[in-house]
Structure formats: C-alpha cells, structure tokens
C-alpha cells in the first residue's frame, strides 16, 4: 500500500501555492483571459439571437422575500476573478488539460440549453438610473439566458475544484471556508441584484456540481 503524501502546512503551504501559480503561468494567464472572451462572445450571441420563444422564469416566495441590494454588484462581478483562481493553482499540464475540457463542457451545456430553451427573469420595477454601474450591466448583460445561471454554475464548479486544491495544499480551515463563502456570496449576489431568480440559481448550482464531480481530474504528478 502506497503511503499518503504528507500534507504541507504553514509556510510550506504558501510555497506550494507559489509553485503552482508559477507552473505554466504563461499558458494559464492568457488562456484564462482568452477563454473568458470566447465564452462571452458565444454567450451574448445566443442571448441576442434566441431560436425559440423566451420563457419567463417563475418567481418563488423566496424571490419575493429577498430585497434588492445594489451593494452586491461587487460580489457579482468578482466571479471573473474567482474563476481564475482554480486554473492558476493547478499543478501540472494534465490537470490543466482536464480543467479546460471541464470548463468547455460546462459552457457548451449551458449555451445549448439557452439555445433550445431561452429563458429570462421577470422585469422588476427598479429605477436602474439611480444605481451607478447597473445601467452598464443591464445594457451589456440583459436578464436573459437565465436558467440555469451560468454565473452560479461556474462559481460552484470553481468552488469544488478549489476545495480539492486547497485541501491538497494543506490550506487552513479559514481559507477553505473562505472559498465556500465566496461561492455562496456570488450565488446570493445574482439574486440580490435581480439578475436571476431562485430556480436559476438551483439549476446553475446543479449543473456546475455535475460537471465538476463527473469529470476525471487528470493524471496525478
């Protein structure tokens, strides 16, 4: 029986984090930026060219209870920093390759759903001109492509991957709890700024978890 590898802690954990970040950084950094750009191009094309009538998502009691919180916008947009953490911390090319296929599968699955079943959230009576930053968001990312929420799907997908990576590095419980708190904050923010409804969030979380848990990690180093 092969003994388990020792789990780093303290300074060793930080050194391992630095080593991982520097590994293939010239591939990870531009690859993440290009991947996000390509995703957005496909996302907005599907959003603006629905193939079928758009379904308005039903509102639940929880949606009616939650208040609009404009201060959650910062947490919402932080997703695009959050999703970059997982590829940055992967330790070899095999894991990076597996991650790329996972992210591609998640993107394609979501976009195919949007093409076959366009959906949108109900219009809320909010004067967006009173909230700086929201006019730009609403002009760029209309409340279509609603269900499943790919914002939440990518957050959950990243959280599951980061949980494994942080555990491997021997990160403290505070770091590991912070990972899940950030993911939960992103999920909440989609509701708090009226970009999604509860059913979108549930479906997005399920899709992200399914892709993260069903796909092989890649060869261990």
pLDDT in tens, 197-209: 999 999 999 999 9
Cα-Cα-Cα-Cα torsion 35, 38, 41, 46, nearest 10 degrees, comes to -90
pLDDT, one tens digit per residue, over 64-118 is 999 999 999 999 999 999 999 999 999 999 999 999 999 999 999 999 999 999 9
117: containing domain: 21-214
- Whether 96 is in a domain gets the answer yes
CA distance 174 to 91: 22
- Whether 9 is in a domain gets the answer no
pTM of the model as a whole: 0.90
- Whether 70 is in a domain gets the answer yes
Q: What is the number of alpha carbons within 13 Å of residue 161 lying toward its C-beta?
A: 32
pLDDT at 143 over 80: no
- Number of structural domains, the chain? 1
Q: What percent of the chain has pLDDT over 70?
A: 89
């Amino acid at each position: 029986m092969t003994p388990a590898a020792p789990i780093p802690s303290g300074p060793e954990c930080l050194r391992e984090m630095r080593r991982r970040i520097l590994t293939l950084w010239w591939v990870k950094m531009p690859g993440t930026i290009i991947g996000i750009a390509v995703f957005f191009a496909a996302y907005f094309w599907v959003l603006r060219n629905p193939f079928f009538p758009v379904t308005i998502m039903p509102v639940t009691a929880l949606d009616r209870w939650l208040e609009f919180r404009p201060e959650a916008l910062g947490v919402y947009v932080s997703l695009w920093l959050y999703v970059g953490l997982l590829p940055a911390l992967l330790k070899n090319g095999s894991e990076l390759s597996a991650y790329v296929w996972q992210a591609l599968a998640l993107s394609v699955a979501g976009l195919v759903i949007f093409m076959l079943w366009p959906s949108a959230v109900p219009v809320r009576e909010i004067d967006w001109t009173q909230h700086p930053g929201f006019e730009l968001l609403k002009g760029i990312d209309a409340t279509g492509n609603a269900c499943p929420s790919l914002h939440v799907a990518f957050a959950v997908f990243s959280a599951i991957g980061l949980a494994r990576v942080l555990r491997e590095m021997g990160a403290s419980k505070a770091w590991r709890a912070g990972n899940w708190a950030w993911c939960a904050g992103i999920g909440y923010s989609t509701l708090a700024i009226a970009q999604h409804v509860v059913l979108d969030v549930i479906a997005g979380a399920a899709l992200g978890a399914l892709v993260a848990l069903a796909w092989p990690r890649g060869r261990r180093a």
